A and B are shown apart, each in its own frame.
Chain A
Amino acid sequence: MSALLSLGGVAAGPVGTALADTGRTSSAEAVLFWVIGPVMVLAALGLLFARRTVYAAMSVVVVMICLAVLYVAQEAPFLGVVQVVVYTGAVMMLFLFVLMLVGVDPSDSLTETIKGQRWISALLGIGLGVVLVSVVLNAGDFASRGLEAANTETNPVGVAQVIFGDFVFDLQVVGILLVTAALGALVLTHRERITRRIGQRERSEARILAGETLTPLPAPGVYARSNAMDVPALGPDGRPLDASVSRVLRVRGQERAVEEVHLDATAAGAARHLRDADEGLGGPEGVGSTPPQRSITGEEQVR
């Protein structure tokens, strides 16, 4: 620890000497630190300056994993592994879930809705900095016993003794706080159902009563020279089935007629003949398009 801190140039002189008695940094550890340190700093800067929110979240993940590696290198494997399980595996995953579900991206409005949040955050940031610096400066005051004494009964047992032995009251207080918070979240997000629940059964009954098509619509046509989405399939009677082409394509007028993909003259003639027989003779281009039953854009004609 001491060597890492002094290498990082953070610790003041007396702290470094006080801690240097108990620990020594092997060269491998130093190499690890100097490889991971810059990566962490870059990733931390990425959190501040990344334009895409997912990049910012990924920067935090990189910082967390590097931090875990450093913990393990400092012979605190429990802390390092739990760091990844809890923060990387659960907390950041929750963040990502929300980011992906809501779809936040830089084009979203950046108007600040909370008044004076910059001042508040600056104040809190300075406060955090003061706390961290004071902790580091006071680190020399503790009489450290060294890792070997702390990890006699393996690292997790040592941590357990500290948490459930020396700090059991604090642990209970934090536990109560967390339970209260979880309960508060439940109460605040709870909603009474005021309408009847509409499940799968109700939906299917409504669909049948409405007389809609119950089966999937036919797939678009697949021919020797085309298997595109924009060509209608042919029904058993040989007529093009308009419902087989996506409604969006039909509205945009991007549907193609069967004879456009049939380069064979006789087949094209036959297809034209068939198309004329179709009752849903569509737009002015004569692509055999049936107008949709419901309006999509609100502008097109509805039959």
Chain B
Amino acid sequence: MGMGPGVLAQVGGTAAAADFSNDTWWIVAIKAVGIVVFLLTSVLFAIWFERKVVARMQIRPGPNVHGPFGLLQSLADAMKLLVKEDMNVKAADKVVYIVAPMISVFASLLIFAVIPLGPAVNIFGVVTPLQLTDFPVAVLYILAAASFGVYGIVLGGWSSGSTYPLLGGVRSTAQVISYELAMGLSLVSVFLLAGSMSTSQIVGSQQQIWWFIPLLPAFVIYFISMVGEVNRLPFDLPEAEGELVSGFMTEYSSMKFAWFFLAEYINMLNVSAIATTLFFGGWRAPWPLSAINDGMFNEGWWPVLWFLAKLWFFMFLFVWIRGTLLRFRYDQFMAFGWKVLIPVALAWIVAVAIIQGVRQFTDVDLRTLLIGLAVAALVVVGITFLLPERRRPEPERPDEPEVLDAFAAGYPVPPLPGQVLPPSPRRARLAEQRAQDAGDGPTGTATITAAGPAPDGTTDDTDGEEEVPRG
């Protein structure tokens, strides 16, 4: 068949990869240390950010004691974790128990190495891209590092020698197997359009349009599975406080717990950075800004600002989701992954591949192709309008409301629509008594009764007194 060498390259018009040829050893060291420092400080900030934003959503102040706006709260928490007694569980498998949190942190620190924070800048006289390294399979490397990191969770759960952590570990394996598939599939359509798996080239290919617009379904799938990837609500089944105490972390304390905690937040930053890089144009300035002064804001150190803004936008989404959604039930979670996400991702890849193939191997230009697709979609939608609607037979409702025996099943239930409760015997008694009292003439008790309940027998009126604001 002999595919031409440039087939992939022609598709999206591959941008040039970042050039690292000027890097000296000390430039690499500065970048590496810079990334670690950036991640650690960002984690401290992210914990404060999450607590503060969730607090605002729940209309309470959040941490506000230590430092300005409570900014030093997470520092205090970190110090507490550091100086706590380090306990090793007796029933634990010691080696694996200690190694597991290290695996988690190690894998989470790997990913930012290939994330481009900006274009080429001048660091102490050396022109170098703001990225530790890049290679033709950088995004696959990210997936590999992420899948290795899950071993920390799984082994931590297994080695604790306790039931809840084990359940957390088992859930985590199942989660990885099902959601990483959807995640990988959603990234493939970006590779198809960008014509590369190198992060700097993917950012370069988004000069015209950020990929989340043409690849919206892939972006939605990636976003859902990235929340699942980092075990955040509504996918936090491996730790699930309400069900598994704290899941795989239950038997961990002090620094070992802190490592899991650190890894979780670094992973949040990681997946946000990946979403930014692959779908939101990476370090590129948003549209009106990118047009100012011949792309001034896309050069030098400015792009770091846009990158961070997008990164924290995704971090905010994480917190927003946490403050809004409830945890999935386990079977719903599995059904969603296997029956919705993976089929949709597969169908989407096939669609993108077909469009790219038509563009590649025929002379149809993109506009004609898109118009043709739009027409086809309209026709399909029109046909679905013409199809006779399948009606579910409505349950027949009796004209007369049915009288419900609330205690029939042994436990009181409220009436459903179309049902009424039998007349209350107490209400009848009350009405009778009131009529009697009215007949007796004004006595002490009768005055109070007459001032109290309304003639129709509502007894709630006596509560009215308490609702008057005091003072």
CA distance A70 to B2 in the complex (A): 29
Checking A54, A77, A88, A209 against B137 with a beta-carbon cut-off of 8 angstroms, the contacting residue is A77
Checking B93, B136, B176, B411 against A154 with a beta-carbon cut-off of 8 angstroms, the contacting residue is B136
CA distance A154 to B201 in the complex (A): 13
Taking CB atoms, residues of chain A closer than 8 Å to B180 are 89-90
A153 near B147 with CB under 8 A, answer no
CA distance A153 to B176 in the complex (A): 33
Taking CB atoms, residues of chain A closer than 8 Å to B146 are 89
Which candidate, B51-59, B151-159, B268-276, B420-428, is the interface stretch facing chain A? B151-159
Checking A52, A81, A97 against B173 with a beta-carbon cut-off of 8 angstroms, the contacting residue is A97
A93 near B136 with CB under 8 A, answer no
CA distance A93 to B153 in the complex (A): 12
Hey, what's the 0/1 contact readout for B1-20 against A, CB within 8 Å counting as 1? 11101101100000000000
A101 near B170 with CB under 8 A, answer yes
Among B72-128, those with CB < 8 Å from A are: 93, 96
Q: Does A236 contact B (CB under 8 A)?
A: no
Shortest beta-carbon distance, A67 to chain B, in Å?
A: 13
Given known pairs A100-B158, A168-B1, the reply for A88 and B147 (CB within 8 Å) is yes
We find that the number of chain A residues with CB closer than 8 angstroms to chain B is 37
Checking A58, A93, A101, A165 against B147 with a beta-carbon cut-off of 8 angstroms, the contacting residue is A93
Which candidate, A14-22, A156-164, A190-198, is the interface stretch facing chain B? A156-164
Taking CB atoms, residues of chain A closer than 8 Å to B155 are 54, 58
Q: Does B177 contact A (CB under 8 A)?
A: yes
Task: For B151, give the chain A residue with the smallest CB separation.
Answer: A61
Checking B93, B96, B148, B410 against A88 with a beta-carbon cut-off of 8 angstroms, the contacting residue is B148
CA distance A89 to B144 in the complex (A): 7
CA distance A58 to B2 in the complex (A): 41
Q: Does A208 contact B (CB under 8 A)?
A: yes
Q: Does B140 contact A (CB under 8 A)?
A: yes
A156 near B154 with CB under 8 A, answer no
Hey, what's the 0/1 contact readout for A60-103 against B, CB within 8 Å counting as 1? 01000100100000000110011011001110011011001100
Checking B140, B151, B158, B410 against A78 with a beta-carbon cut-off of 8 angstroms, the contacting residue is B140
Taking CB atoms, residues of chain A closer than 8 Å to B184 are 85
A208 near B409 with CB under 8 A, answer yes
We find that the number of chain B residues with CB closer than 8 angstroms to chain A is 38
Shortest beta-carbon distance, A59 to chain B, in Å?
A: 12
Residue among B93, B147, B166 having the largest count of chain A Cβ atoms under 10 Å: B147
CA distance A101 to B167 in the complex (A): 9
Q: Is the interface of A mostly helix, strand, loop or mixed?
A: helix
Given known pairs A100-B158, A100-B166, the reply for A94 and B137 (CB within 8 Å) is no
Q: Does B150 contact A (CB under 8 A)?
A: yes
Q: Does A155 contact B (CB under 8 A)?
A: yes
Q: Does B348 contact A (CB under 8 A)?
A: no
Among B154-192, those with CB < 8 Å from A are: 154-155, 157-158, 166, 169-170, 173-174, 176-177, 180, 184
Shortest beta-carbon distance, B363 to chain A, in Å?
A: 23
Task: For B410, give the chain A residue with the smallest CB separation.
Answer: A211
B173 near A96 with CB under 8 A, answer yes
A90 near B173 with CB under 8 A, answer no
Given known pairs A61-B151, A164-B1, A168-B1, the reply for A97 and B170 (CB within 8 Å) is yes
Q: A85-B147, A156-B137 are in contact. List 14 more A-B contacts (CB 8 A).
A: A54-B93, A65-B148, A78-B137, A78-B140, A84-B144, A85-B143, A89-B147, A94-B173, A97-B170, A100-B157, A101-B170, A153-B9, A165-B3, A211-B410
Query: 8 A-B residue contacts at CB 8 Å?
Result: A88-B147, A89-B147, A90-B147, A93-B173, A154-B136, A156-B137, A160-B3, A211-B410
Q: A-B pairs with the 3 shortest C-beta distances? A: A89-B147, A84-B144, A97-B173
